[in-house]
């Protein structure tokens, strides 16, 4: 299939990467830039605007299997209940807590995972890569993903 990926940042649309084909070398360069901290990022703790964008993207790709990975310390200042919105997201959600447990109970399509300083190097990358490769041929070479270990 045509596996797509993209990046949304909390702070700013700078650094966002619209969905594109993961196999494209050009897109991979855009994705690598999107996975770095954007210039002028303020470190906001408001998930709502990015979640709104993710919901719109999911709606525009309704025939695709949609997966959302949220990386945050979960010290959110949203005025609406973004956790309920995550629970109703139209796809699977991997909620990664950076040095904290995600405050969201595991539901059918939500997996919570804590990644901290005591975890081995590459733990976040392993979790992200695991989500990007769910259902893909040849995935077995990476072994068990961090999300699968969290639910085991």
* Contact assessment for residue 92 and residue 125, using Cβ atoms and an 8 Å cutoff: no
Helices then strands, each counted (H, E), the chain: 5, 5
Measured CA to CA, the distance from residue 91 to residue 101 in angstroms comes to 21
DSSP run (H or E) holding 150 = helix 146-151
pTM as predicted = 0.82
pLDDT tens digits, one per residue of 43-98? 778 899 999 999 999 999 988 888 899 988 888 888 888 888 998 999 889 889 99
- Residue length of the chain: 152
The pLDDT, as a whole number, for residue 131 is 79
pLDDT tens digits for range 1-26: 578 888 888 866 778 899 999 889 99
Q: Which residues pair with 72 in a beta bridge?
A: 97
Q: Tell me: the pLDDT tens digits for 31-47?
A: 888 888 777 777 778 89
Cα–Cα distance measured from residue 78 to residue 84, given in angstroms and rounded to the nearest whole number: 12
């Amino acid at each position: 299939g045509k596996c797509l990926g993209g990046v949304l940042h909390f702070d700013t649309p700078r650094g966002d990467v619209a969905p594109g084909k993961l196999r494209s070398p050009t897109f991979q360069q855009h994705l690598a830039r999107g996975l770095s901290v954007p210039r002028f990022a303020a470190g906001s703790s408001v998930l709502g605007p990015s979640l709104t964008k993710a919901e719109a993207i999911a709606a525009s790709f309704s025939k695709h299997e949609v997966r959302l990975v949220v990386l945050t310390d979960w010290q959110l200042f949203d005025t609406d209940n973004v956790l309920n919105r995550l629970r109703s997201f139209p796809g699977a959600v991997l909620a990664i807590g950076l040095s904290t447990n995600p405050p969201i109970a595991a539901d059918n399509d939500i997996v919570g995972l804590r990644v901290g300083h005591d975890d081995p190097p590459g733990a976040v990358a392993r979790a992200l890569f695991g989500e990007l490769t769910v259902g893909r041929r040849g995935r077995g070479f990476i072994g068990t993903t961090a999300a699968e270990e969290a639910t085991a």
